[in-house]
Amino acid sequence: MNKAANSPLIIENFDLYAPKLVSKEEFFSAGHRACQGCAEALAIRLMCKALGRDTVITNATGCMEVISSLYPTTAWRLPWIHVAFPCAAAVGSGVEAGLTALRRKGKIPDKRVKSVAIGGDGGTMDIGFQALSGAMERGHDMLYVCFDNEAYMNTGIQRSSGTPFMASTTTSPAGKKIPGNQVWKKNVTEIMVAHNIPYVATASPAYPIDFMNKVKKAREVKGPAYIHCLVTCPTGWRSPSETSIQLGRLAYETGVFPIYEVEDGKYRFTMPVPEKRRPVADYMKTQGRFRHVTPDQIKVIQERIDIEWEMLKIKIESSKSHAEIREQVKS
């Protein structure tokens, strides 16, 4: 039987058995105060399942800190530290160094406990960027996950450097003066690749198995790892709560948010590549933050997405791992 004929059977079996591949143990409990349809809360839940025990979470100020830890309750069933907006990477690297010292002195069992720092796009790409770059440059054995909902959502939907071009926010409101945000989104994923760290990936909770596999892989990395996770926000994106997963998939199918990984310097798509990408208008039309954008402005955005997609394809087709390059240099 050929591969095409097998595909429906594979999909059917996947739907049947996928829940059995995921741990039923919950480390991010129900009852938190996230908005209905919050993809970030779902992503946190998936991340914690993939990390499992022996994990310490460092959480910068942001949506997930606000909705999960209102005194005297907590949704966290893992050791968890709340830190100020710019400090997640700094404290996460300190946790890793502290655990290493305690193991060396024999004060805690000699087993690997993963330090994981998390932050939103503002806490990662703007306010905490210096700490993130420093932690990656120093080579700490830690994972940093950026949950990017593309604005400062917990303080009033102000634009960040993760906000898309033309999106309307409270600090870049679309109107007579400007047609929304006037700056293109910062590509932090590529900046992390430039740090030459062992593992960098993009992910989305709309593709949960792919996301969890990347978290598991990053957990096993000896050294710094970074995952950039796009999470839809019904409140800030002005989108219906029930479309969060649909929007996450449209972001990939249109090329707005490519899903890939860079392991030891080698690029690789981790999801089936669409034979023909859907137009970016399909992604934008269901979000109120883009309702003011004209067809001509959509063409500008489409051209930018097309160029960035082709640039990524070139990297995937031509990149080599550091190990392959070392062998090439030796020969």
Write a three-state SS string for 297-324: HHHHHHHHHHHHHHHHHHHHHHCCCHHH
Asked if residue 321 has pLDDT above 70, the reply is: yes
> pLDDT digits over 236-263, tens only?
999 999 999 999 999 999 999 999 999 9
21 contact partners, CB below 8 Å, separation of at least 6:
209
Report the C-alpha gap between 201 and 216 in whole angstroms.
12
**What pLDDT shows up at residue 207?**
95
User: d(Cα 64, Cα 47) in Å, to the nearest integer?
Assistant: 13
Single-letter code of the amino acid located at 137 = E
The answer to whether residue 5 scores a pLDDT higher than 50 is no
| Residues 55, 113: Cα–Cα separation, whole Å | 5
Q: What is the pLDDT of residues 289-318, one digit of tens each?
A: 999 999 999 999 999 999 999 999 999 999
48 CB burial (10 A radius; 0-12, 13-18, 19+): buried
Rounded Cα distance, 275 and 206, in Å: 19
Identify any residues that bridge with 226 across adjacent strands, giving them in sequence order: 144, 200
Predicted pLDDT at 23? 83
pLDDT band at residue 330 under the 50/70/90 scheme: confident
Helix axes 244-253, 39-51, angle to 10 degrees: 80
The predicted structure's pLDDT at residue 13 = 66
- Of the listed ranges 116-120, 141-145, 183-187, 324-328, the one predicted with least confidence: 324-328
**Amino acid 83: pLDDT:** 96
- Cis check: omega of the bond before 72, within 30 degrees of 0: yes
State percent of the chain over pLDDT 90.
90
Confidence check: pLDDT of 228 > 50:
yes
Query: Can you read off the two tokens belonging to residue 170?
Result: 């409270």
Residue-level pLDDT at 171: 97
Q: Is the pLDDT of residue 10 over 70?
A: no
**What average pLDDT does the structure give for the chain?**
93
Closest CA to 255 of 302, 300, 208, 212: 302
Task: State the DSSP code for 125.
Answer: I
Question: What are the E-state strand segments in 35-101?
Answer: 55-60, 80-83
User: Is the pLDDT assigned to residue 156 strictly greater than 70?
Assistant: yes
Give the position of tokens 């859907």.
Answer: 278
User: Measured in Å, how far apart are the chain's first and last C-alpha atoms?
Assistant: 43
Condensed to tens digits (0 to 9), the pLDDT of residues 23-69 reads: 889 999 999 999 999 999 999 999 999 999 999 999 999 999 999 99
Q: Classify 20 as helix, strand or coil.
A: helix
Looking at residue 1, its pLDDT comes to: 38
- At 15, the pLDDT band (50, 70, 90 cuts) reads low
Confidence band of 11 (pLDDT split at 50, 70, 90): low
Residue 285 has pLDDT above 60, yes or no: yes
**Residue 14: per-residue pLDDT:** 65
Which region, left, alpha or beta, applies to residue 201 given φ > 0 means left and ψ of -120 to 50 means alpha? beta
pTM of the model: 0.94
Helix 208-220 and helix 39-51: axis angle, to 10°?
A: 40
Write down the pLDDT at residue 146.
Answer: 98
pLDDT digits (tens, 9 = 90+) for 65-75: 999 999 899 99
**How many CB atoms sit inside 10 A of residue 297's CB?**
16
pLDDT, position 7: 44
Tokens of 117: 């720092």
- CA 81 – CA 55 distance, rounded (Å): 12
For residue 114, the cross-strand partners are 55
CB 162 within 8 A of CB 186: yes
The helix/strand count (H/E) of the chain reads as 13, 8
- Phi then psi dihedrals of residue 230, to 5 deg: -80, 125
